[in-house]
């Protein structure tokens, strides 16, 4: 695969690459690249995570040596799952199964847990070196990467360690590429700035979009920074009624999608259209069937997201017909994942404990 073909695959369904020129040159030079995604094991895998999962697959497919990093200590600092490390570790296990089910070649992926990094004194030396080269105000502003506001560090100082650890993770694993959602941008930009000061490898940052909550996107308040706004409106495991999980039944998926915010003709602030764009059409064009009522024009087949968007903007697809079609496709995506997890009884029982902890 040539450099330009690799770049096309990596660029699809991304919000930005910092910088695209650096990535193109790395591909053109034939460099052996190492990348990662760091995830907080904070609950059951929800469908919004499939956005980064598909991009993770793209990077593996183009030959990047990818690390799946379970940020267990980070989730602990962030008070996820009641701060219980045993539950946090249990929540990390099923992510590997999800990636396998969507076609990621896990034989080419290294799985790393935060425990492996924090047990090394060199890691903590990096944390301190980073701390000595960044201001307190910038660290506070970076707390949005963990879905927190700067004021929350006033009551729990450990929150301030989190951004420093995330940057240290990148340097400790000697990464060329840092993959994450747009909500992780501040950490990646901090890593790029610090790398220049301390002589570490400067990571290329690849940022994917965030799937909005099913309730819709609220108007941005003037007082909020963009990172805080993204944390507010994204699909979240902490709000089960506003998210779709890979453990949800077919009936639950249909019910949640039918109840989602879906204004006619509107695309940009429409979570149902976002599901179509970033999940259903994530890997390129495909056959998408919309069963419209006779009075709406009858059943049609759509083969690209652009075509779907055009039809919806022109009111040729009714919101309820769109919801039904999207729900049916999501069921096809989720069902095989759910079946794999249910087949492993011990893992499924652990997930049930995790789900119970999240909903308490």
> Which residues line the annotated binding site?
36, 162, 166, 169, 184, 237
Asked whether 334 and 84 are in contact (CB, 8 A), the reply is no
Q: Each residue of 172-207: b (16+ CB within 10 Å) or e?
A: bbebbbbbbbbbbbbbbebbbebbeeeebebbbbbb
DSSP bridge pairs for 288: 302
User: Using CA atoms, how far apart are residues 140 and 156, in angstroms rounded to an integer?
Assistant: 12
What are the tokens at 201?
A: 């490898």
Binding residues for L-tyrosine: 36, 162, 166, 169, 184
Backbone φ and ψ for 18, nearest 5 degrees, come out as -115, 95
CA dihedral 158, 353, 337, 280 (to 10 degrees): -50
Asked whether 246 and 45 are in contact (CB, 8 A), the reply is yes
What are the tokens at 33?
A: 């690249």
Report the largest interatomic distance among the alpha carbons of the chain, rounded to a whole angstrom. Answer: 69
Binding residues for ATP: 237
User: Using CA atoms, how far apart are residues 11 and 58, in angstroms rounded to an integer?
Assistant: 9
C-alpha distances out from residue 210 to 45, 68, 278, Å: 14, 19, 9
């Amino acid at each position: 695969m040539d450099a330009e073909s690799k770049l096309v695959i990596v660029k699809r369904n991304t919000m930005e690459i910092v910088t695209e020129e650096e990535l193109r040159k790395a591909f053109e030079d034939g460099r052996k690249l190492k990348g990662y995604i760091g995830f907080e094991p904070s609950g059951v895998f929800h469908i919004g995570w499939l956005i980064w999962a598909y991009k993770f697959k793209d990077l593996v497919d183009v030959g990047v040596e990818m690390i799946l990093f379970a940020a267990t200590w980070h989730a602990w600092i962030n008070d996820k799952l009641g701060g219980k490390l045993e539950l946090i570790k249990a929540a990390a296990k099923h992510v590997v199964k999800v990636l396998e089910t969507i076609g990621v070649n896990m034989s080419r992926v290294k799985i790393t847990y935060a425990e492996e990094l924090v047990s090394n004194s060199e890691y903590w030396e990096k944390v301190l070196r980073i701390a000595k080269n960044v201001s307190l105000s910038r660290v506070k502003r970076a707390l949005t990467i963990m879905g927190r506001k700067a004021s929350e560090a006033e009551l729990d100082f450990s929150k301030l360690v989190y951004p420093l650890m995330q940057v240290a993770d990148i340097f400790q694993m000697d990464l060329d590429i840092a993959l994450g959602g747009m909500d992780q941008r501040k950490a990646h930009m901090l890593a790029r700035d610090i790398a220049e000061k301390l002589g570490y490898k400067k990571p290329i940052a690849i940022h994917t979009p965030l799937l909005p909550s099913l309730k819709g996107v609220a108007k941005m308040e003037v007082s909020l920074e963009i990172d805080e706004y993204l944390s507010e409106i994204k699909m979240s495991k902490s709000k089960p009624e506003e998210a779709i999980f890979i453990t949800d039944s077919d009936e639950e998926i249909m019910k949640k999608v039918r109840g989602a915010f879906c204004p006619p003709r509107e695309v940009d602030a429409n979570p149902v259209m976002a599901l179509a764009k970033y999940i259903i059409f994530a890997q390129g064009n495909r056959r998408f069937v919309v069963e419209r009522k006779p009075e709406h024009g009858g059943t049609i087949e759509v083969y690209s997201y652009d075509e779907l968007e055009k039809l919806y903007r022109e009111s040729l697809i009714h919101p309820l017909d769109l919801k039904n079609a999207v729900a049916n496709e999501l069921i096809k995506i989720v069902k095989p994942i759910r079946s794999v997890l249910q087949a492993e009884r011990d893992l499924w029982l652990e997930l049930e404990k995790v789900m119970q902890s999240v909903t308490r």
